[in-house]
Structure 1
Amino acid sequence: MEVIKQPQGLEESVQGRRIGYLGPQETYSYQAALQYVAEGKAEFVPCNTLEDVCRSVLAGNCTEGILPIENLLEGSVNQVLDLLLENPRLTIQGEILLTISHCLLVSGGSQADIKTVLSHPQALGQCRQYLAKHLPQAKQVAVESTALAAQQVLEAGQVGLAAIAPLSAAQKYGLKVLAENIQDQPHNCTRFVVVGTEQVPWGKGSYKTSLAVTGLDRPGTLHSILKEFAWQGINLTRIESRPAKTFLGEYVFYIDLAGHRCQPEVAEALQRVAEQNRGLRIFGSYPACSQGPRLEQAPPEDTLPSLRLDIDLIDRQLIQLLGKRLRLAQRIGDSEKQREQQVLESVRLLASQQGLAPDVVEEMYRLLLNYSGQT
């Protein structure tokens, strides 16, 4: 099974290390665990469900757990997103990218005999086209893992029962391989995360931070979140929304970004997002996996026209923000006038932090405040 390059330091030996994964052996989670820590350098602990993986880590029975979080074909594993959100002590400490190649396994007989196909729901979804074309009449039954499907086919010993599982499961359970690489996309890949209870410190190399934001029920919530990261020049590598399961219309935004939460620009953006929204949950900052070689592209040139366009965009944004501030001040009324000195002190401090002349910024705000009082 091919593995896409892992960050350095994943195979360091740690005494007493116990890695929980969705069992039994030969699941894709098990394969990911073997790539995270070499065999013999940790004890691998099979768990019956993904919830059990999390419970084992939280109870201290495992030092780390392996969870599938995102697949190229089926998207995010919603159950894992829920588990991360529901368990604040869980922290993402690493990620693993694993190439997924599904096989159709039986204990005997031919493809024409198959009446039922067992597998994990994600695997069934990833082989949707193959099943529709070659086994349209077969019943699809979801089980907890791909390896468990293979194990159940072996134990049943029935012609007509098949499993979708990795090739290694066929070898372990002595099953016949009827077809290989049956997934809908030949370059299928699943991203796994490593969870523990300790934060990963900021060090050398590339990092990724995963988080969830519960926005306020108001227009422009997503735009206001994205704006904070854009202003700090932070690249978002993944963003999606899911219902918050509290009120109809309230959503949680799941975000992956390039950088560590301790980097100044990331920390500032996260603070701003936290201040402006209902809730912020940082799942963790961790070493980012390399996704293999990419075509090198020359960085964009800072030509005079492009710089002028950037300045024009900032000017428009400033005018929009000033207009919004004026309207808010008018709604507050006289109480805003009483807060004038506090506002001026605050903007002087902010100006100093951004390398601007505090006196100049204060004078600009005095004009703005005077104008607000006259309208």
Structure 2
Amino acid sequence: MPKIAYLGPEGTFGWRVAASNNPGAELIPCGSHAQVIQAVAAREVSKGYVARENSLGGTVIDTVDPLGRNAVGIEMRLEGGKVVSSQGRVVVCGEAVLPIVQCLYGTPQKVARVYSHPQAITQCGEFIKRRFPGAKLVPATSTVAGVEELRQDTEAVAIAPPWAVDFYPDIPLVETGIQDSPVNDTRFLAIGTNECAPTGQDKTSLCFTVPDDERPGSFDRVSMILALVGINKYLIESRPTKTALGRYIFLMDVDGHRLDPVLSRVLELIVLTGLTTSLRVWGSYPRQNGRNA
């Protein structure tokens, strides 16, 4: 029986994605997205699911930063005038899009605190301001971990999925659909140890750095080369390297598989010309065009 890691405890959105995409598997809860990545890297599980981005809250930082810090994906580097590739312990091997419905839990006489994952708090920001203007926002490791806090905190409410009530029947579900927009989706990444074969309908996630000052416009050149050969870009963002102010890791999702002839040649050209100081392909995987979890 395969083991699948997710951000726990049971009842989180990560649990839902893991369960719906892996029927019959043993689901292993982890305390953070970083721990999910570590469990896959240590071969304690065969696959894991981590939240990548949300249509309201944006980038899930506690997923993206650990992915950027770890040896995720396929490193492409220059050795002896040639581009060589080596795979790390973890690769991105899929994605799943989950529609998100946030719910209010708890019926205290006084609401002094609101517990939930930071993403859920962001997704329900207007609701919280309107209903609990003076409450303290308390980040939890997950939405369901916030519900657990209500067993000790009698002056608090929590924000969590509608099915959390199945795991915590003693905590009242008060209101459903409290997110700021009915269109609220989260994209999850599946991470494993084996690279996906090309399917013809793929997406590739890139992570790279560029020279600090020797080559002005390096990032623009990377983007331009991809555009010139007709490769579509789905996502572009940056994260601090955390080594110095003004230094960034760039993240980009592009159309195609890294082994496709055009994309493969473009990535080699980017490395050969020194436009990047490091380049990792987090993974190439089947592209999802709609909700599938």
TM-score, with normalisation over the residues of structure 1? Answer: 0.69
1:68 corresponds to? 51
8 A contact 1:85–1:281 mirrored in 2 = no
Q: CA deviation at 1:114?
A: 1.6
Map of 2:86 onto structure 1: none
Structure 2 residue runs without a partner (length 5+):
72-88
- Specify which of 203, 210, 216 is matched with residue 205 of structure 2: 210
| Identity in percent | 36
Report how far residue 248 of structure 1 moved. Answer: 2.7
Distance 1:259 1:207 in 2: 5
**Aligned mates of 1:244, 1:159 — CA distance in 2:** 41
Is the CA contact 1:150–1:170 (under 8 Å) kept in the aligned structure 2?
Answer: no
**Structure 1 counterpart of 2:60, from 49, 52, 77:** 77
Give 1:172's match in structure 2, choosing from 160, 167, 177: 167
Task: Find the counterpart in structure 2 of residue 268 from structure 1.
Answer: 265
Structure 2 residue matching 1:125: 3-state secondary structure: helix
Distance in 2 between residues matched to 1:245 and 1:272, nearest whole Å: 28
- Secondary structure of the 1:257 match is strand
Matched with 1:133 is 130
Amino acid at match of 1:286: Y
Higher alpha-carbon deviation: 237-246 or 65-74: 237-246
Contact 2:108 2:155 in 1 (8 A): yes
8 Å contact kept, 1:23–1:145: yes
Q: What letter corresponds to residue 41 of structure 2 in structure 1?
A: L
On the 8 A contact 1:216/1:250 being kept in 2, the answer is: no
Structure 2 Cα separation of the partners of residues 53 and 249 of structure 1: 29
RMSD over aligned CA atoms reads: 1.5
2:163 partner SS: helix
Aligned positions, number: 269
The equivalent of 1:58 in structure 2 is: 41
Aligned to 2:250: 253
1:100 equivalenced with 2:104 (yes/no): no
SS at match of 2:63: helix
Give yes or no for contact 1:18–1:63 (8 Å, CA) kept in 2.
Answer: yes
Greater mean alpha carbon deviation, residues 270-279 or residues 141-150: 270-279
Secondary structure in 1 aligned to 2:37? helix
Distance 2:221 2:10 in 1: 45
CA distance in 2, matches of 1:150, 1:118: 7
Q: Which amino acid aligns with 2:201?
A: S
Match of 2:284 in 1: 285
Specify the SS of the correspondent of 1:79: helix
Cα distance between partner residues in 1 of 2:138 and 2:124: 13
Q: How does 1:112-261 map to 2 (within 5 A)?
A: 113-153=110-150, 155-156=151-152, 158-174=153-169, 175-203=171-199, 205-217=200-212, 218-261=215-258
**Cross-structure match for 1:315:** none
1:309-324 correspondence runs (5 A): none
Q: Decide which structure has the larger Cα Rg and report it.
A: 1
- Counterpart code for 2:180: D
Aligned partner of residue 270 in structure 1, secondary structure? helix
Q: Partner of 1:354 in structure 2?
A: none
CA distance in 1: counterparts of 2:127 and 2:158, whole angstroms: 13
1:98, CA displacement in angstroms? 0.4
Question: Quick one: which amino acid aligns to residue 288 of structure 1?
Answer: R
Runs of 5+ consecutive residues of structure 1 not aligned to the other structure: 1-15, 293-375
Conserved in 2, the CA contact under 8 Å of 1:209 and 1:257? yes
Q: Please state how far the C-alpha of 1:237 moved relative to its aligned partner.
A: 0.6
Deviation at 1:168, TM superposition (A): 0.4
Q: Which amino acid aligns with 2:17?
A: A
Higher helix share: 1
Q: Which amino acid aligns with 2:30?
A: C
SS at match of 2:157: strand
TM-score where L is the length of structure 2? 0.88
- Structure richer in strand, relative to its length: 2
Do 1:209 and 1:256's aligned partners in 2 also have CA atoms closer than 8 Å? yes
Higher relative contact order (CA 8 A, sep 6+): 2
In 1: Cα distance, 2:149 partner to 2:248 partner: 39
